[in-house]
Each structure stands twice: as structure tokens, then as C-alpha cells.
Structure 1
């Protein structure tokens, strides 16, 4: 990667690593609405599924090549924000030390009973690993060990309960200006998530962050399998939750 253009201050790309069904797509929608970021929706998981990913006018075929492009775009003056989920593993990416030194890695969780019930409703065949809390904690530990700093963790429940405070604290941490006008948007499907649109229907139909009563579904309280899943992942959730800042 070459030096930034004259007069441009290089800034680090921002990664949001999220447990599935944590409301991370709603958070990404806020980042899209800002208009000052190059936003990537689940680039590394799409890359694994498809063998290629188009970003910023380039098509890449490996995680390391995708990281190259993210760093180049941010160095050129348009900062990258990308979010991805922990139902996939990203071993080649995490062997690249630039992920730790040249990227701001942040994390998003949600109370496991709700996240797991929502995930099961979308994919009842999900494996234990695909619920994602254990691997998200592994990513968190890798970042903390490599940087010597505790990464920022936000919570999807806080996002809907205290949206402005949560987003403002996130922006302060990663070096973004908070833009209140980005907290609402016009409803509609986004091209970047069209391939997995059924997972993002609630965000597509929304115009902002609103806490909704959960639809009737199987939960860890009603389903023994889900109770075991929740019991397995809860320690990882609790470890991550201890890194959350307080939200007013």
C-alpha cells in the first residue's frame, strides 16, 4: 500500500465484528446514511460463500486482497466501515498482522436468548458454532492480545434502548463525527445486502431504530435445544459484555 495522497490524512478502516442477529445491520444502515464512509456489508463472509467480492470498484478473491483494498481506500481519504458476523471463521485474515495494527476492530453483542431465538427462527438448522458468541469472543481475544488494548463492545439492546448515546459513544471511540441526521433513513432494500435480503427484512422495512415486541417464536425457555445453545454461549457473551462502556 502506497502513502496517502498529498494533503490527505490516512485513517484506519473500521471493522464491526458482530454476533448474528445482534441488530448489526441496523447499525450498518446508520453508517450508510452518513454518506462519508465507504461501507461494506459482510464482505468476508460473502467472499467465503461466493469466492469473490466486489468493493470500491474492485473484485477480490481472497481475504488478504480484500484487506489490501480496504486499507488503500481508507488511505486515499474515504474511510471504510465494514461489518461482518461470527457465524463464519476467518483464519487467513487473522494471520495478517495488518488486521490488528492498521484496522480499528470493534464488536457487537446482544443478549443471547433473544439473539439465539431470532437466529433459530431464520435458520433452524444452524450449528452450535453458527450462533457465533464463542467465535466472536475468540476474535475479541485475538485483537486484545495483539494490540494490548481492550476493544470497544456495543450491545444491540443498548442500540434500540439508547440509540443516540450508543452511536455517539461509538463514533467518539473510532474517531467519527456523530451525525444525528443519520439516525433515520428511507425504508428500502439495499443493493449490498440483496443476496441475503430475508435476513435484513426488518431493517429494510424500517426508517430508524425502534424496539419492537418479539414475534411469537421458539426460545430457550420453550425449546430444550435452544436452552442448551444459550447455556453454551452465555459465558462468552458475559465475557464480552464486561468490556461494554456504560451507556447513559
Structure 2
């Protein structure tokens, strides 16, 4: 099979780590956890849990990161899965490097993103959850392709992982693999150094959780952020695989 590098673009708390574990459990796949996290922390200057440790431990040079993201799969693998946070693509840095990759987009309802995010870190803004940047990157890729790239909704993944992941794999020109439906408990070799702060729930998992159906109550501040994010979410949702 011809090698494929999938760049999966999402914001935080979008089941993005579970998706990375799903792909990372494929024998043919090399998974990479948030390549530009240290870069974004160093250049944006915002505070985050484990900020200094992340910058010290991970590559933060834009040019070296871009070169690595565009490199062939290592270790004889045929698939690379890059878990990208959209808000790590800072203004002033050319995003055109992503266009040769197989770009896909993972979306989730803003209120669920915010409810999950604030359980881990109380300080949150619209920029922190990446909806605006996700729409910008989607437009960049769609303009390049002349069509919408693959979009999947977290709710669809949780409701029917086999069906949704099968459609995603088909859109990315790779075969579906049953290994994607489960993974072993605990940390993974490809986790970023930030995993102890953010990944405790997914470390306890062995597969995708059931969809959450309970209603969410947001503070007025968070409700305003959700309202601002909603049009960006809906625009991508209109193109989701079904």
C-alpha cells in the first residue's frame, strides 16, 4: 500500500486522544501526538499545565517540525497519524505546508468541548478551543482540493465507531483495521509529555466510550464562547461523512 500521512485537525477535548489511540493501535501506523504543542506554547506565550516541561521535552522549531511532518513514515510503517490541535497553527506562520498531506477534521459540539475542557483547566477562551482556526484550515484544504475534505463528528464516532471509522479510512484511502476499535489500558509510547495532566480518562479506557446524552449547563461566560464557536462547528458539520 502506498504510504499515507493523515493530519487530523481538531480542538482539545474532541475525543482526539481516543482517535490517536485508535490509529496508534494499528500495526501499520505511526502515531504522533500534537507535534506543534511546544511550538505554540513557546511562541504564543500562554500559560498551560506543564508548560516549561513541554517546551523542554518537545521540538519547538517551526521549520524542523514542518520537515518532520512531511517526512515518510518511519520504521517500515505505511500510515502516519498526526494528531494536530488547530489553535497550534499560529498567525504569521504559513499553513500551506499541510496541503500535500491527507487532511481530515474531527469536530465536536462546542458545549461538550467546553464542559470537558474546564474540568481540567478553568481558564478558557474561544481561541483555546480552536474552532475558528479549524474553520480556517478547513477552508484552506477545501480550496486546494476543490471539494470538502473528510469531516467526522465525535458523536458519530462514539455512537458507531466501526461505521464512522470505516468511512474515514475509505476517505483517507487506507483499509479499515479492526485494531482501531480497542487498545490496551494505560500510557502509550507516543503520548506527549503532557499526558499525565490530560489523559487520565483515556488511559483508563480500552475503546471508545458511549455517547454522552445528559444535558450540559454552562456558565454565562462559557455559553457565550459556545455561541461564538457554533457557526464554525455547524459549517464543518454540514460536510461530515455520513
* TM-score normalized with structure 2 length: 0.84
SS of the aligned residue for 2:88 comes to coil
What is the SS of the residue equivalent to 1:105?
Answer: strand
Structure 1 residues 70, 203: CA separation in 2 closer, same or farther (over 3 Å shift)?
A: same
Distance, in Å, in 2 between the alignment partners of 1:111 and 1:148 is 26
Matching of residue 67 in structure 1 with residue 66 in structure 2? yes
- Aligned residues of 2:107 and 2:151 also touching (Cα < 8 A): yes
Distance change in 2, residues 1:66/1:222 (3 Å) = closer
Distance 1:17 1:189 in 2: 22
- RMSD of the TM alignment (CA)? 2.5
Moved over 4 A (4+): 50-54, 212-216
Q: Aligned residue for 1:227?
A: 223
* Bigger shift: residues 84-93 or 167-176: 84-93
Unaligned 5+ runs, structure 1: 1-8, 55-59
* Higher RCO (CA < 8 A, seq sep 6+): 2
Where does residue 82 of structure 2 map in the other structure?
82
CA-CA distance at 1:181 after TM superposition = 2.8
C-alpha distance in 1, partners of 2:38/2:23?
A: 19
Structure 1: distance between partners of 2:91 and 2:222: 27
Q: Does the 8 Å contact 1:20/1:87 carry over to 2? A: no
**For residues 115 and 148 of structure 1, do their structure 2 counterparts lie closer, same or farther at Cα, with a shift above 3 Å needed?**
same
The 1-side partners of 2:193 and 2:97 are apart by 29
> Are 2:28 and 1:36 aligned?
yes
State the 1:47 CA deviation. Answer: 3.5
Contact 2:3/2:72, CA 8 A, preserved across alignment: no
Deviation at residue 161 of structure 1 after TM alignment: 0.3
Mean Cα deviation higher: 141-150 or 44-53:
44-53
Counterpart check, 1:245 vs 2:237: no
Q: Does the 8 Å CA contact 2:7/2:103 hold for their aligned counterparts? A: yes
Secondary structure of 2:194's match? helix
Q: Please name the residue that 1:151 is paired with.
A: 149
Go from structure 1 to structure 2 and tell me whether the alpha carbon gap of 1:125 and 1:224 turns closer, same or farther (over 3 Å shift). Answer: same
Give per-residue Cα distances to partners, 1:103-129, cap 9 Å, x unaligned.
011100111111111112211112221
Post-superposition offset of 1:20: 1.3
Aligned to 2:205: 206
Runs (5+) with no aligned partner, structure 2: 42-53
**Equivalent residue, structure 1, for 2:44:** none
Paired residue total:
228
Check the 8 A contact 1:10/1:74 in 2, yes or no: no
